[in-house]
Chains A and B, each alone.
Chain A
Amino acid sequence: MADQRVPFATHADSTVLGADEIVLNMGPQHPSTHGVLRVKLRLDGEKVIGSECVIGYLHRGVEKIAEHRTYTQFAPYVDRMDYVAAVSNGLGYCEAVEKLLGAEAPLRARVIRTILTELQRIASHLFWLGTHALDIGALTPLFYCLREREEILKIFEKYCGARLTTHAFRIGGLQYEAYDEFEKDVERFCKPFDKRVDEYESLLTGNRIWVGRTKGIGILTAKEAIDYAASGPVIRASGVKWDIRKAMPYAAYDLYKFEIPTGKNGDTFDRYIVRMEEMRQSRLICLQAIENIPAGPIMGKVGKVLKPPPGEVYHAIEAPKGELGYYIVSDGTTQPYRVRIRPPSLINLEAFDKMIRGHLVADVVAIIGTLDIVLGEVDR
Chain B
Amino acid sequence: MHSLIDFLLTYWVQLVCAVIIVAVLPLVAGYIVLMERKVMADMQARLGPMRVGPHGLLQPIADALKLLIKEDIIPDEADKAIFWVAPLISVTAGMLAMSTLAIGPWFQIADLNIGLLFIVGISALGIFGIVLGGWSSNSHYSLLGALRSAAQLVSYETAAGMAIVGALMLAGTLSTREIIATQNDYGVWFVFAAPVGFFIYVVASIAETNRAPFDLPEAESELVAGYMTEYSGFRWALYFLAEYTNMVVVASIATTLFLGGWLRPFAGTRAFNFLDFLPSVLLLGVAGYCFYRAPKQPVKIQKMVLAAVGAMIILVALILAAPLLAPAGSFVASMKAGLHGAFWFLLKVGLYIYLFMWLRFTFPRYRFDQLMRLGWQFLIPLSIVNVMGIGVALVLHRHFGWSHWTAFPLTTILTLAVAGLLAAAGEKQEKTHAIVGEEA
A31–B440 touching, CB < 8 Å: no
B55 proximal to A (CB < 8 A): no
Q: Which of B46, B216, B220, B367 contacts A212 (CB 8 A)?
A: B367
- Least CB separation from B436: chain A residue: A358
Residue contact B436 to A359, C-beta cutoff 8 Å? yes
Query: In whole angstroms, how far apart are the Cα atoms of A209 and B222 in the complex?
Result: 16
**Do the beta carbons of B370 and A137 come within 8 Å of each other?**
no
User: Is the pair A133, B364 in contact by a Cβ cutoff of 8 Å?
Assistant: yes
Q: Tell me whether B71 is interfacial, beta carbon within 8 Å.
A: no
Is B213 close to A, CB under 8 A? yes
The number of chain B residues with a CB under 8 A from chain A is: 39
Q: Determine whether the beta carbon of A134 is less than 8 Å from that of B221.
A: yes
- Chain A hits for B364, CB < 8 A: 133, 136-138, 204, 207, 209-210, 213
The interface residues of chain A lying within 8 Å CB-to-CB of B440 are 47-50, 357-358
Stretch at the interface among A76-84, A98-106, A284-292, A360-368: A360-368
What residue of chain B has the Cβ atom nearest to residue A354's Cβ?
B437
B45 to A147, Cβ gap below 8 A?
A: yes
Determine whether the beta carbon of B439 is less than 8 Å from that of A209. no
B101 in contact (CB, < 8 A): no
CB distance A212 to B370 under 8 Å? yes
CB of A143 closer than 8 Å to a CB of B: yes
Q: Is A203 an interface residue (CB 8 A)?
A: yes
B215: interface (CB < 8 Å):
yes
- Segment of B83-91, B230-238, B319-327, B355-363 engaged in the interface with chain A: B355-363
Is the beta-carbon distance between A144 and B221 smaller than 8 angstroms? no
Closest-CB distance, B380 to chain A (whole angstroms): 19
Chain B residues near A215 (CB-CB < 8 A): 434
Assembled-state Cα–Cα distance A139/B366 (Å): 13
Chain B residue nearest to A216 in the complex (CB): B434
**Residues of B with C-beta under 8 A to A134:** 221
Q: Does A178 contact B (CB under 8 A)?
A: no
Task: Tell me the chain B residues, 275-314 only, with Cβ under 8 Å from chain A.
Answer: none
How many chain A residues have a CB neighbour from B under 8 Å?
47
Compute how far the CA of A204 lies from the CA of B213 in the bound complex, rounded to whole angstroms.
Answer: 14
Inter-chain contacts of B213 with A (CB < 8 A)? 137, 209
Contact of B221 among A48, A135, A218, A219 (CB under 8 A): A135
- Identify which of residues 203-245 in chain A touch chain B, using a CB-to-CB cut-off of 8 Å: 203-204, 207, 209-210, 212-213, 215-216, 218-219
- A175 contacts chain B at the CB level, 8 A cutoff: no
Partner of A137, one of B40, B138, B212, B434: B212
Of B43, B437, B439, which is within 8 A of A140 by CB? B43
Q: Does A32 contact B (CB under 8 A)?
A: yes
* Complex Cα spacing A362 to B44, Å: 25
A3→B79 CA distance, assembly (Å): 13
B140 touches A22 (CB 8 A): yes
Closest chain B CB from A45 CB (angstroms): 9
Q: Kindly list chain A residues whose C-beta atoms are within 8 Å of the C-beta of B247.
A: none
User: A144 near B45 (CB under 8 angstroms)?
Assistant: yes
* B368 and A136 contacting across the interface, CB-CB below 8 Å: no
In the assembled complex, the Cα of A4 lies from the Cα of B215 at a distance in Å of 26
Do B221 and A31 have beta carbons less than 8 Å apart? yes
> Do B219 and A207 touch (CB < 8 A)?
no
Does B435 lie at the interface of the complex (its beta carbon under 8 Å from any beta carbon of A)? yes
| B112 at the binding interface (Cβ < 8 Å) | no
Tell me the number of A-to-B contacts counted with CB atoms below 8 Å.
112
Indicate if A30 sits at the interface (CB-CB under 8 A).
yes
Nearest-neighbour CB distance to chain B for A51, whole angstroms, equals 11
Prevailing SS type, chain B contact patch: loop
B interface footprint on A232-270 (CB within 8 Å = 1, 0 otherwise): 000000000000000000000000000000000000000
Contact among B40, B138, B222 for A139, CB-based, below 8 A: B40
* A139 and B221 contact, CB distance less than 8 A: no
**Are B437 and A357 within 8 A (Cβ)?**
yes
Contact of A216 among B366, B368, B435 (CB under 8 A): B435
CB of B362 within 8 A of CB of A362, answer: no
The answer for the CA separation of A335 and B215 in the assembled complex, in Å, is 54
Contacts of A362 in B (CB 8 A): 216, 219, 222, 365, 367-368
In the complex, which of the residues A203, A210, A359, A365 contacts B222, with contact meaning CB atoms closer than 8 Å? A365
**How many angstroms between the C-alpha atoms of A139 and B36 in the bound complex?**
13
Contact between B140 and A143, CB atoms less than 8 A apart: no
Bound Cα distance A144, B370 (Å): 27
Chain A residue numbers with a CB within 8 Å of B215 are 137
Give complex CA distance A165, B215 in Å.
Answer: 36
Is A24 on the interface with B (CB-CB < 8 A)?
yes
Q: Is A181 part of the binding interface, using a Cβ–Cβ cutoff of 8 Å? A: no
Does A52 touch B at the CB level, under 8 Å?
Answer: no
CB distance from A204 to the nearest CB of B (A): 7
B144 and A361 contact, CB distance less than 8 A: yes
| Interchain CB contact under 8 A, A32 and B222 | yes
A213 touches B44 (CB 8 A): no
* Nearest CB of A to B73, in Å: 16
Chain A: minimal CB distance from B196 (Å): 19
> What is the CA–CA distance of A145 and B368 in the complex, to the nearest angstrom?
27
Asked whether, in the complex, the Cβ of A140 is within 8 Å of the Cβ of B44, the reply is yes
Q: Report the minimal beta-carbon distance from A91 to chain B, rounded to whole angstroms.
A: 31
Closest A residue by C-beta to B369: A360
Say yes or no: is B438 at the interface (Cβ < 8 Å to chain A): yes
A363 and B366 alpha carbons, distance in the complex (Å): 11
In the bound complex, residues from chain B placing their C-beta under 8 Å from that of A157 are: none
Contact B221–A138 (Cβ < 8 Å) = no
| CB pair B435 A139 closer than 8 Å | no
The answer to whether B365 touches A137, judged by C-beta atoms less than 8 angstroms apart, is: yes
Q: State the Cβ distance, A354 to closest chain B Cβ, in Å.
A: 9
Q: A143-B44, A361-B144, A364-B222 are in contact. Are A3 and B138 (CB under 8 A)?
A: yes
Query: Given the complex, which residues of B lie within 8 Å of A219, measured CB to CB?
Result: 435, 437
A46 → chain B closest CB, angstroms: 6
CB pairs A–B below 8 angstroms (5 shown): A137-B212, A203-B362, A209-B364, A212-B366, A212-B367
7 additional contacts (CB under 8 A) given A137-B219, A140-B43, A365-B222: A5-B143, A24-B144, A47-B440, A48-B440, A140-B361, A210-B364, A219-B435
